[in-house]
Structure 1
Amino acid sequence: MSKIAGAQGNIFEDAKNWPPIGTASLSGYERSRVLLNRGQAGFVDVAQEAGVTDLLDGRGVAMADLFNNGLLDVVVANEKGRALLYRNIANPSHWVELKLVGTRSNRSAIGAEVTAEIGPGRQRQVVDGGSGFCSQNDRRLHFGLGDQRLGRVTIRWPSGTEQVLNGLAIDQLHVITEPPR
């Protein structure tokens, strides 16, 4: 699985629905970098190819599907400059997004753990309430599927309730409400 990672504004997100850049690192007082993870071969900076060429003092970095199209976009807050939006223009692969709404747990579902069975593997994500310096990622959870099939999705709510979902439609956002006891 590819990851996107940031320095001061730490981001670790699934990058299957990104253009072929793999991993991004954006931080202050340095040229912004986009690092492609080549596995055993290490990382290669592909910032120029990805269009990340600004020389601003990047601080906060956040990711969200800003246009509700299954593609994660990146917003960078800069110390003494304008904010930058890196809009994802890749051809989308398959995906599913989950917006969790707590009832017995906190309404924002912070702390909920979601495990999605994707193809032969699993991805696990946790809804967090703060994800970096001067930034906050979207609390909706985005699972990039690529060409893999989505299987069972298990949610462990902060209240301790476990909810299992089967047959979720792909390529859309699902709003999931915590079940009563």
Structure 2
Amino acid sequence: MKVSLIVAVSRNGVIGQNNQLPWHLPGDLKYFKSVTMGKPLIMGRKTFDSIGRPLPGRTSIVITRDPEWHAEGVQIAQTLLQAMALAELACAEAGVDEIMVIGGEQIYRLTLPVADRLYLTEVQAEVEGDAFFPTYNLEQWHQVSEQLPEKTDTHPYRYLVLERKSN
């Protein structure tokens, strides 16, 4: 089972501002949909709240410490371990072998050490923000693909896929 993180990140490491994306990149949203479709998604409660609904065609697993929190159409986990177990079941049911972690900051911090693959949208801008992608050692990863979008919307960006090097 592969654990993959998918994230759009600015040059200064920002991934969010006031529980929203700090940019509007329709091309990146289409890319996100194409990469994640059919796969289970693990996210934190704040990320789910910012999206506002379960994403169609994907199992949404929300990690929250609040035992009273509920949302229609999602699976709820109190821990990363619970979320991973739910995601593995969803993978088996869907016939896929990749779990997608979609944020936010705290969930990326928890999952980066066990991630096998990073789908990075590098946004070529420095923006204000209050949520950041954790730093990582590039020497532990190798780039398997790079793609430039057809048009760059408001900020130039590129898609990178990195895989963890085996020891």
TM score, norm. by length of structure 2: 0.30
Name the structure with the higher helix share.
2
Name the structure with the higher strand share.
1
Q: Which has the higher contact order (CA 8 A, sep 6+)?
A: 2
Whichever of the two has the greater Rg, that structure is: 1
